[in-house]
Amino acid sequence: TSPSSPPPAPSSFAPAPHLSPSEWQSLLLSTPDAVLLDARNVYESAVGRFAVPSAPTILTNTRKYAGLPAVLDQAAEHLEGKTVFMYCTGGVRCERASQELQALVAGGEG
């Protein structure tokens, strides 16, 4: 986008593809630039999370979804050029977060 054009709306992007557990594990372990993004809320993340030695993890630690876009914006430099593996408990939060992340990346281009 140009400096004068507004950033793209997250809803203009399709959610990231869903992977089966075996696909997710296989791709995660074989992707050298992988980053884990725990898109769950702070209560869910406190129960436990994935730990992959070769992949740094970004914890969003939000209480409500409304706080997630700001967290993604703050994490953008750690996610730039990386393959992001996102997980959550219900799916909808990940779908919306993937759209927010795509909009963030597209808004930074140009």
Cα distances (Å, whole numbers) of residue 74 to 21, 67, 80: 28, 11, 11
- What is the spatial distance between Cα 94 and Cα 101, in angstroms, rounded to a whole number? 10
User: Of the candidates 109, 78, 110, 105, which has an alpha carbon nearest to the alpha carbon of residue 16?
Assistant: 105
> Is 88 in the active site?
yes
Active site residue: 75, 84, 88, 94, which one? 88
Dihedral over alpha carbons 23, 84, 69, 51 (to 10 degrees): 80
User: Which tokens hold the place of 32?
Assistant: 């050298």
Catalytic residue IDs: 88
